[in-house]
Amino acid sequence: MNSMPSSSGKGISPRIELPPHAFPALCTLCFRPWGEATTIPGMPRFSLLLFIASTSLACLSLAAQAADAPQRIVSMNLCSDQLLLLLAERARIASLSYLAADPGFSPVAAQTNGLHLNHGQAEELLPLAPDLVLSGAFSATLATNLLERLGIEVLRLGVANSASDIYTQVGSVAARIGATPRAQHIVNTMQQDIAAYIAQLRAALQGKSAVFFSSNGFTYGSHTLQDDFIISLGMRNAAAQVQGPAQLSLEALLLAEPDFLFINPPARLDKQLAHPLLQHAALAALQGRMQVIELPDRYFECASPLYVQAYAALARQL
């Protein structure tokens, strides 16, 4: 596991760094004996030569820099999969996680056709010779640590706890892979769409209380994206007294008497145990007093434009 891969061309190519301004300087040294440049009449021609030389060399170095942008990007995490598909050209995507192709989990399943899928194993990624690996902060840590030890750059994406976190993360990933303009466009669109939904819904929701109730009785307290969502609409998070995701007992949920219950609808064969609470008679008893809105977890799980869908879904069901 600790042995370096053989340098058979499938290994890691070293990157040659040369500062762009070195070229013109070198060239002036070269041109000197030629043109007897110190005399006045030859000056404009010489400068022109210098200029052409340095700009072309600068352009070359810029091109080299653009070539520094990773060409074989691997993503090992559903969130980074989505970002990668959004920001990078297909040719630069070396592999996505297998979850991306599963329509049950992934909103971008249709786009994964023809792309290589990985299962988070370092062994399957090494043959792809990746130059950048995107991963979640807590997923596949052993594999990512190993890849790092082998000299491959790993970019770990943290959890987005607010809308601005989303924008920041999209921006930083784009910067790393050289897709900043596209990211800028995405972020702007998100901000506009969200602002529009807030303007539309705020009047009806101002001052009401809401709480998230996900699988296995998990709720989202303060410092979470879900909390940010609730606050942005002028509502109060009934679970704000806890921080982060936490278990909420049915009793506490009932006592909180929220106006809105945001649930993660069970998918496929999600079993009773994760979602029995939704069929529980206790919740049925509250039906009249509380509106149940389906907001799938996946709208909040990743730093991606999918977050806007949460507002859309809410607007649709109100």
Partner 1 sequence: MKPKSLIVLLLLAVPLLFLLDLHSGPTGLDMWAALRDAVQGTGSIDAIILLELRLPRALLAALVGAALGISGAALQGLLRNPLASPDILGISQSSALCAVIVLYFGLSQWGWYLLPLAAIVGAGLAVLLMLALTWRYRGIHTIILAGIAISALASSFTALALNFAPNPYALQEIYYWMLGSVANRSMSDVWLALPFMLVGSMLLLSARHFLDALSLGEDTASSLGFSVGTQTRLLIPGVACCVGAAVAVSGSIGFVGLMVPHLLRPLAQSQPGRLLWLSLPGGACAVLLADIIVQNLPGQQELQLGVITAALGGPFFLYLLFKQRQYFL
Residues near partner 1 (CB under 8 A) are 104-105, 215-217, 246-247, 249-252, 254-255, 257, 268-274, 276-277, 279-282, 285-286
* In the complex, least distance from residue 285 CB atom to partner 1, rounded to whole angstroms: 5
> What are the E-state strand segments in the chain?
73-75, 93-97, 117-118, 132-136, 154-157, 209-213, 218-220, 236-237, 245-247, 260-263, 291-294
Backbone dihedral angles phi then psi of residue 313, each to the nearest 5 degrees: -65, -40
Neighbours of 98 (CB within 10 A): 18
Cβ atoms of 290 and 257 within 8 Å: the answer is yes
Nearest approach in angstroms of CB 270 to partner 1 is: 6
| Lookup: tokens for 193 | 């769409």
Paired tokens of 292: 């149940």
Q: Shortest distance, CB of residue 207 to partner 1, whole angstroms?
A: 20
The nearer residue to partner 1, 26 or 274, going by C-beta atoms, is: 274
Q: How far is the CB of 223 from partner 1 (least distance, A)?
A: 17
For residues 20 and 245, which CB has a smaller minimum distance to partner 1 in the complex? 245
State how far the Cα of 193 lies from the Cα of 35, in Å rounded to an integer. 62
State the nearest-atom distance from the C-beta of 93 to partner 1, in Å: 25
Of 198 and 246, nearer to partner 1 (C-beta) is 246
C-alpha–C-alpha distance, residues 96 and 81, integer Å: 6
Q: Identify which of residues 76 and 173 has a Cβ nearer to partner 1 in the complex.
A: 76
Instruction: Report the nearest approach of partner 1 to the CB of residue 280 (Å).
Output: 5
Burial category of 281 from C-beta neighbours within 10 Å (exposed 0-12, middle 13-18, buried 19 and up): exposed
| Helix (H/G/I), strand (E/B), else coil: 280 | coil
Tell the smallest beta-carbon distance from residue 214 to partner 1 (Å). 11
C-alpha atoms less than 13 angstroms from C-alpha of 164 in its C-beta half-sphere: 2
Residue 243 C-beta: closest distance to partner 1, Å = 12
| CA–CA separation, 318 and 315 (whole Å) | 5
Backbone angles phi and psi of 12, in degrees to 5:
-100, 125
Tell me the C-alpha distance between 230 and 221, whole Å.
10
Pairwise CA distance, residues 143 & 76, whole Å = 10
104 by Cβ neighbours in 10 Å (0-12 / 13-18 / 19+) ranks as exposed
Identity of the residue, 50 or 242, whose beta carbon is nearer to partner 1 in the bound complex: 242
H/E segment holding residue 112: none
Q: Which is nearer to partner 1, 35 or 265 (CB)?
A: 265
Measured from the CB atom, is 50 or 256 closer to partner 1? Answer: 256
Helix (H) or strand (E) holding 314: helix 306-317
Angle at 61 between CA 58 and CA 65, to 5 degrees: 135
Q: Residue 16 or residue 269: which is nearer to partner 1 going by CB?
A: 269
Nearer to partner 1, 21 or 119 (CB): 119
